Amino acid sequence: MNPVQKSAFAPSFIIVGAGSAGCVLASRLTASQKHCVLVIEAGGSDLNFWVQVPIGYGRAFYHQGLNWMYVTKPDAALNDRKMYWPRGKVIGGSSSINAMVYIRGSAEDFDEWEAMGNPGWSWREVLPYFKRSECNDRGEDEFRGGRGPLHVSTMERDLHPLCQNFLRAAGECGFPKNSDFNGMSQEGVGLYQNTVKNGIRMSAARAYLHPVRRRRNLRVETHSHVTKILFEGRRAVGVEYVKGGKRIQVQAGREVILCAGAVNSPQILQLSGIGSSQLLKSHNIAVICERKGVGENLQDHLGVDYLYRSLAPTLNCQLHPMRGKLWQGIRYLLSRRGPLSLGVNQGGGFVRTRRYLKKPNMQLYFSPVSYTKAPPGKRPLMNPDPFPGFLLGIQPTRPASRGRIELASSDPFESPAIYPNYLSVDGDVQEMLEGAKLIRRIAAAPSLSSIIDEEILPGTDVQSDQELIEDIRERSTTVFHPVGTCRMGQNISSDVVNCQLKVHGVAALRVVDASIFPTLTSGNTNAPTIMVAEKASDLIIQEHVKSWTTPFVALRQSEIQ
């Protein structure tokens, strides 16, 4: 093993991961100029064509230089299939490779967080942080922000005309129209807004990190793989990372902040001696602090798509022919307009499959494109089917199944073992079945049935509940929203961080990313992850503002539980 080098740089805060949360913290914590921040990122620059061009995420999903490219363990409920989990390994993290749909979640999601023992995390209390982060192109109002760094765009001018067929069909099924899923109510169908500005992806890096990279009190180390957190007793005092084959240790004057995401944050904690003592001892890792909840409570959205051959033109007609690709490429380069300037999840919504439910239980997706011959999990957005086609997709918003993430070995460069445990709760199977039936109900409405030539997948021969469930087990896939593996809560036997996002039982260590979500939010997870980091920046600043001149904060007994 290479000898350890001690870094002469001594930041106040070390942020592990320059993803959605890490970029926010880097910006907010360096704004005062009163302390130094080091951001350590395993990936490299986001100045990549497939990152910046919105439709390029189909390529970034499988780009080894941008992506951790995780694969789960076989899942029994999905016919022992392994699931491909792309996670951003690049400046901006998963906000640099995601589908850019901006959804906060329902108000009830966050009120539930507070009810689970997390004061300060109700909808009323987190809404200001959503607004602070956002610059919505429709302007500021009671619910939306207009002056934040994260630009959120209305994409209507470039959306495919078939989106209107979808909206009319949903209306014919009795679902109301909603012009803003992030406004007063989430319920209804409408058109998604994207984190895009002037035809270029608005990642957390573009919004938060790049504008402040020249600050003298900010340093960003890329291609640097964190191997463990360093402790003195039960106080986090720094991290060790590997860069260019060299092992480097750097000290943190105040805190270490894990922003490595729902997969990597629990892995780093376990590698550092925080987790289940049984698991750690099995890998010969010294136990710093027993925390059985690390890696547990894994939640993810599972979805299924139904594909249709269309009688009307779709994006396939524009993007499949080589001349179409060339024309759309030229159009994009000249004007930043057209299908390359947005994602393919264009329409959708949040609906109830049963009228008596108090809130929507299903998220809808409409994409005016199809790719029936793509390998499982791949999204060749620039190479769709040679015939007109589109897809309708669903995801139950609040699955009850829980999985886990744990070390596969003590080697920090080996991917952790991911056990999603999808559909392990009978209610989740029922929800997926109701979603599949809902897709067919919308497809049968006049405004869509009039343009459908045939149902390609799963096909009209799949009819009975048992056949539909078997198709779900065979074709459903992750919607790329893993959360919960360092859950926030008061129960130190099962939760990992408290409502201040401090790791229970140790000092000077926080986790700030989607892993702290107590429950999965209703919808896409990037916006609430950014909100968590915005709120965390205030929590951190408020704690340390009275003692900027001292390198360490005195350890309070309340920090050791």
- The answer to whether 374 and 399 have CB atoms below 8 angstroms apart is no
Q: How far apart are CA 74 and CA 422, in angstroms?
A: 10
DSSP 213-265: TT-TTEEEE-S-EEEEEEEETTEEEEEEEEETTEEEEEE-SSEEEE-SHHHHH
- Band of the pLDDT at 416, cuts 50, 70, 90? very high
CA within 13 Å, CB half, 386 = 1
Asked whether residue 1 carries a pLDDT value surpassing 70, the answer given is no
Higher pLDDT, 158 or 90: 90
Q: In this predicted model, what pLDDT tens digit does every residue of 364-390 receive, in sequence order?
A: 999 999 988 765 545 566 688 999 999
184 burial level (CB within 10 Å; 0-12, 13-18, 19+): exposed
Q: How far apart are CA 552 and CA 135, in angstroms?
A: 36
Mean pLDDT of 296-300: 98
Mean pLDDT, rounded, of the chain: 93
**Number of residues assigned to the chain:** 561
pTM above threshold 0.85: yes
pLDDT given for residue 375 in this prediction = 59
Q: In this predicted model, what pLDDT tens digit does every residue of 91-139 receive, in sequence order?
A: 999 999 999 999 999 999 999 999 999 999 999 999 999 999 999 999 9
- The answer to whether 371 and 379 have CB atoms below 8 angstroms apart is yes
Give the other-Cβ count within 10 Å of 225's Cβ: 16
Q: Please tell me which residue in 320, 481, 504, 544 is annotated as part of the active site.
A: 481
pLDDT given for residue 62 in this prediction = 87
- The answer to whether 271 and 227 have CB atoms below 8 angstroms apart is yes
Active site residue 63: no
| Residue 164: closest CA among 391, 340, 310, 346 | 346
Q: How far apart are CA 539 and CA 497, in angstroms?
A: 14
Q: How far apart are CA 360 and CA 434, in angstroms?
A: 13
Q: In this predicted model, what pLDDT tens digit does every residue of 469-526 receive, in sequence order?
A: 999 999 999 999 999 999 999 999 999 999 999 999 999 999 999 999 999 999 999 9
Q: What residue ranges define each of the domains in the chain, with the CATH number in brackets?
A: 156-191+302-396+423-475 (3.30.410.40)
Residues 6 or more apart whose Cβ sits within 8 Å of residue 103? 181, 182, 192, 522, 523, 524, 527
Can you state the angle between helices 526-544 and 123-133, rounded to 10 degrees?
100
- Band of the pLDDT at 78, cuts 50, 70, 90? very high
First to last CA, the chain: 35
Q: How far apart are CA 418 and CA 407, in angstroms?
A: 9
Q: In this predicted model, what pLDDT tens digit does every residue of 8-60 receive, in sequence order?
A: 788 999 999 999 999 999 999 999 988 899 999 999 999 999 999 998 888 88
pLDDT given for residue 547 in this prediction = 54
pLDDT given for residue 376 in this prediction = 52
Q: In this predicted model, what pLDDT tens digit does every residue of 155-209 receive, in sequence order?
A: 888 899 999 999 999 999 999 999 999 999 999 999 999 999 999 999 999 999 9
Mean pLDDT of 250-255: 97
Name the 3-class secondary structure at 439.
Answer: helix
